[in-house]
């Protein structure tokens, strides 16, 4: 009985692998289709985007780079200004999240007091709170505290991004031997120097993973900047795309698709170049309790 089972195992596992490959391939195609649709329609005239959405551009519908030029020059707000604000907000927000949450996670794990555990579970709980529950009081609070500029909104992102970051950092800190920090203390390092000279370099795999996830989130975020920023003065790329409207609210879908393509290309390239670091960082923080 066992011999027959052993003989049938290789064929069974091969069939399972084939089925899983087909299923995953289908899922991959489903996920890639919206990106392909954006790519195809960014080079088509507006009328053909509406009537022949999934058709490839031909001699009649091909618009060349006219959609890109129109999207970047539409209205009185420069597109490159929106790119600048998106870059500033993304980099500042990611820097603040990485710096403060890594320090907080190290302190929470090493102190392991009741207050630290409460703070940790509150941070974890914040990941499941829908943004819609807090967006109205958040916008009011941001206005009162003058957090409605590209240079201050990263503070708001720090609050929203802290949950996931602290969760991942705490998991990694548990894997760092305490003896290394004790040795640094014996050599005369205080808490601050121990963290920046010893602990932070060891946290680099998780820092890269958290940084990649935060950059992708902040760069593509639309709702938070729309609620907090003065959109007449400060527009990120998603907000700029929303205002590609003509008279009577008509939307040039070709120009819209072109700017969407320009906005997602940096994120796709960045993710493909750094995806291996995400796996390493998650694996490094996977500690058995």
Report whether 216 contacts 235 (CB < 8 A). no
pLDDT of res. 61: 82
CA 29 to centroid of chain Cα atoms: 22
pLDDT of res. 96: 95
Dihedral sign, Cα of residue 114, residue 119, residue 120, residue 126: positive
Q: Which CATH architecture has domain 76-284?
A: Orthogonal Bundle (1.10)
Task: Divide the 289 residues of the chain into consecutive groups of 10 and give the mean pLDDT of each group.
Answer: 51 81 90 87 85 82 85 84 93 94 92 90 86 84 88 91 90 87 85 89 86 89 89 89 70 85 86 73 52
pLDDT of res. 91: 94
pLDDT of res. 1: 47
pLDDT of res. 165: 92
pLDDT of res. 288: 45
pLDDT of res. 140: 87
CA separation, residue 198 to residues 170, 193, 202, 210 (Å)? 16, 8, 7, 19
pLDDT of res. 289: 44
pLDDT of res. 17: 87
Domain ranges for the chain: 2-67, 76-284
pLDDT of res. 247: 54
């Amino acid at each position: 009985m066992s011999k027959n089972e052993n003989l049938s195992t290789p064929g069974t596992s091969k069939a399972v692998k084939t089925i899983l490959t087909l299923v995953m391939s289908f899922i991959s195609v489903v996920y890639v289709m919206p990106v392909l649709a954006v790519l195809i329609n960014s080079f088509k005239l507006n009328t053909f985007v509406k009537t022949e959405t999934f058709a490839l551009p031909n001699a009649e519908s091909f618009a060349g780079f006219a959609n890109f030029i129109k999207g970047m020059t539409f209205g009185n707000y420069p597109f490159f200004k929106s790119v600048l604000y998106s870059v500033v907000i993304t980099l500042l927000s990611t820097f603040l999240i990485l710096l403060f949450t890594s320090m907080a996670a190290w302190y929470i794990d090493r102190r392991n007091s009741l207050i630290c555990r409460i703070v940790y579970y509150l941070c974890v709980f914040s990941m499941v709170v829908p943004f819609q529950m807090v967006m109205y009081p958040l916008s009011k609070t941001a206005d009162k505290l003058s957090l409605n500029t590209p240079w201050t909104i990263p503070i708001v992102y720090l609050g929203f991004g802290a949950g996931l970051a602290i969760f991942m950092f705490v998991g990694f800190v548990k894997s760092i031997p305490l003896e290394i920090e004790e040795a640094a203390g014996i050599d005369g390092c205080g808490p601050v120097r121990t963290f920046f000279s010893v602990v932070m370099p060891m946290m680099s795999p998780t820092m890269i993973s958290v940084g990649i996830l935060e950059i992708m989130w902040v760069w593509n975020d639309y709702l938070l900047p729309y609620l907090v920023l003065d959109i007449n003065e400060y527009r990120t790329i998603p907000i700029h795309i929303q205002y590609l409207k003509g008279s009577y609210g008509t939307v040039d879908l070709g120009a819209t698709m072109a700017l969407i393509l320009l906005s997602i290309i940096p994120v796709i390239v960045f993710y493909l170049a750094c995806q291996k670091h995400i796996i390493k960082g998650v694996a490094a923080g996977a500690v058995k309790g």
